[in-house]
Chains A and B, each alone.
Chain A
Amino acid sequence: MTATSSEPLGREKRHSRFSLPNGGYRAILIVGGAIFAALVIWFLYSIVNQSRPAFSTLGFSWIIQKTWNPNLHKFGLLPFILGTVETTAIAMVLAVPIGLGSALALAYLVPQRAKVLLGTAVELLAAVPSVVYGLWGVIALAPLFREYVEPFSSSAFGWTGLFNGANSGVGLMLAGTILFVMVLPTMVAISRDVLAVVPKEQVEGAMALGATQWQVLRKVVLPEARAGLLGAFILATGRALGETVAVALVIGNSDYIAHSLKSPSATLASLIINNFGEASGTELAALFGAGLVLLVIGLTVNSIARALVRRAGGSGSVASVAVA
């Protein structure tokens, strides 16, 4: 970074009166970097510091306890950890194949004019505020789920035991679906850009050996784009894990562990937003603790994904992860 940014500044020196001496530009970099580092440290310190009372009065085991009941002084986070992981898993299971498929279609299949139109639509959807998705979920999707999707999945996949209970509309399934809809544009937009920069020479090299279009994608394009696609996955997962308002609107907000995909549940983020207003003392500390746990989950997903790519020999374009 430092090496490349020195060049335009250096060139400017020749053309502009507003030139920076070398020391000046170094100072800008150092100050900028220092401010960023300080913010990160301050942020982490605050969260850890605010959550400390919870650890000192409850120990460490409260994080994985099952009961959240402030009146009984119980602040178990397990239902919310599970809710967070489950909704994100539902979202990503849907978003990875569908997002990748759409991105491949956008990059390689659709004609140029449709490409521009669809590409704009995707970017537009990525910019919609999450509360709008949440409202759409409540107004449009919840009735649909209650009347059709939930009864159908119970009758078709009831044998799995995942679809027991009443058809209420709101719950894990709807929250996961809303998250899927929300992360899809992110997934598609980044994947498409990553796929588009796979060198044409590689694609033609495979074609010239008699590869079918599917083989070109499967054996050349996807392996080459692996690192960048991982970047898309990490960003989308991060968004799903931390999404707050939209989830709070459609998940049903139950403090108990869900026993079915139709059950109402809650996530760490929805727990925080629903309780923050009236919380004080240990409960407030526990909510900060929930934030800390969410941070750790995000970091864990990130590291696992990176390790997977590295083990698969991902020499590819690590730069695209950085960009993403």
Chain B
Amino acid sequence: MTEQLSRPAAPTSPMPPTIEDNVNLTTGEVFLDRSTGHPVMQLKDVGVAFGGRSAVRNVSFDVFDREITALIGPSGSGKTTLLRALNRMHDTVRSAKVTGKIMLGDTDVYSGSTDPTLLRSRVGMVFQRPNPFPTMSIYENAVAGLRFNGVRKKALLDEAAESALVAAALWDSVSDRLKSHASTLSGGEQQRLCIARALAVEPEVLLMDEPTSALDPIATKRIEELIGELKNRVTIIIVTHNMQQAMRVADRCAFLLMGEDRTGELIEFGSASKLFSEPDDPRTLDYVNGRFG
């Protein structure tokens, strides 16, 4: 499936933009491809099994620098399971086994010499439900990751906190109450704090697991706008149930579907515009048109 992917033109070659790559089909907006065209992460034949039962398998695709890659598919298709394999969150589950190969740049994610804590500071994660640390203040939440990674200097922490909160579009509303508890924020603000917390560590890739599923439509819209802005800063892989959301934010999409033996498989991977208009697989077409799932 990966072979059908046409890589975006390198920035140096002034190829005329094709409809397929550079027009957002929902808005009609033409955009310039800013990505450098290098894969940041590469998945090769990745599978995850729990206690011998396979949850997702045979997933291969590349994740490109400064792009938004969406994992879409109905419930049970293994989207979240796959996402959590990328920063080794399955390590805590004894029965979980990840097969295949996941590369982050030159690092083999599952190699014995890879330190999972170091890996997770390079591959951040935002969860379904906002999960700021309730015993910490807004400021402490924003710098928690840096402190975990050994940063102690107050000036550095202050600077990182402001920069991350600005990037997460939260600075203006919290700059005068950084000492308040994170629980005083609204749900949408809490989720943006979680995004800020992840950004402060300056990860190369940010994993987002249905980041708006617990939020109201207005908060959802603001997070989506934020995701669009963050694209310049970090490579994003997002799991979403929401077809419109995938259409609005994603550059590339991976469509997963549960096979007959209840194991998730990659059905199709390609540019979002292609997946949503003329996918190769009829099942993809059915799904994006809302005929099932």
Are A and B part of the same complex? yes
Task: Type the 1/0 row for A137-171, where 1 means its CB is closer than 8 Å to any CB of B.
Answer: 00000000000000000000000000000000000
Closest A-chain residue to B140, C-beta based?
A: A219
Contact (Cβ within 8 A) A208 B89 = yes
Task: Type the 1/0 row for B115-129, where 1 means its CB is closer than 8 Å to any CB of A.
Answer: 001111100110101
Complex CA–CA separation, A219 to B144 (angstroms): 9
Task: Type the 1/0 row for B230-262, where 1 means its CB is closer than 8 Å to any CB of A.
Answer: 000000000000000000000000000000000
User: Which of A41-49, A198-206, A270-278, A289-297 lines the interface with chain B?
Assistant: A198-206
Closest B-chain residue to A314, C-beta based?
A: B135
Residues in A with CB closer than 8 Å to B94 are: 111-112
Number of A residues contacting the other chain (C-beta, 8 Å)? Answer: 23
- Most A CB contacts (10 A, CB to CB) among B89, B124, B133, B135 go to B135
User: Which of A79-87, A187-195, A209-217, A251-259 lines the interface with chain B?
Assistant: A209-217
Name B145's contact: one of A201, A202, A209 (CB within 8 Å). A209
A297 CB to closest chain B CB (Å) equals: 31
Contact (Cβ within 8 A) B127 A209 = no
Q: Report if B148 contacts A (CB, 8 A).
A: yes
Name B131's contact: one of A201, A313, A315 (CB within 8 Å). A201
Complex CA–CA separation, A206 to B89 (angstroms): 11
Contact (Cβ within 8 A) B117 A208 = no
Contact (Cβ within 8 A) A199 B135 = no
Closest B-chain residue to A225, C-beta based?
A: B135
Closest A-chain residue to B119, C-beta based?
A: A210
A36 CB to closest chain B CB (Å) equals: 34
B210 CB to closest chain A CB (Å) equals: 13
Question: Which residues of chain B from 145 to 191 have any CB-CB distance to chain A below 8 Å in the complex?
Answer: 145, 147-149, 181, 183
Q: Report if B42 contacts A (CB, 8 A).
A: no
Residues in A with CB closer than 8 Å to B125 are: 204, 208
Task: Type the 1/0 row for A221-255, where 1 means its CB is closer than 8 Å to any CB of B.
Answer: 00110100000000000000000000000000000
B191 CB to closest chain A CB (Å) equals: 12
User: Which of B56-64, B100-108, B193-201, B219-227 lines the interface with chain A?
Assistant: B193-201
Q: Report if B92 contacts A (CB, 8 A).
A: yes
With A219-B148, A224-B134 known to touch, is A207 a contact of B129 (CB < 8 Å)? no
Contact (Cβ within 8 A) A209 B131 = no
Q: Report if B87 contacts A (CB, 8 A).
A: yes
With A111-B94, A210-B201, A224-B134 known to touch, is A205 a contact of B194 (CB < 8 Å)? yes
Contact (Cβ within 8 A) B131 A202 = yes
Contact (Cβ within 8 A) B92 A207 = yes
Residues in A with CB closer than 8 Å to B181 are: 315
With A212-B148, A315-B181 known to touch, is A207 a contact of B120 (CB < 8 Å)? yes
A219 CB to closest chain B CB (Å) equals: 7
Contact (Cβ within 8 A) B118 A315 = no
Residues in A with CB closer than 8 Å to B117 are: 210-212
Residues in A with CB closer than 8 Å to B136 are: 223
- Beyond the given A212-B117, A315-B134, please list 7 additional residue pairs across the A-B interface where CB-CB is below 8 A: A204-B125, A208-B120, A209-B145, A209-B201, A211-B148, A223-B133, A223-B136
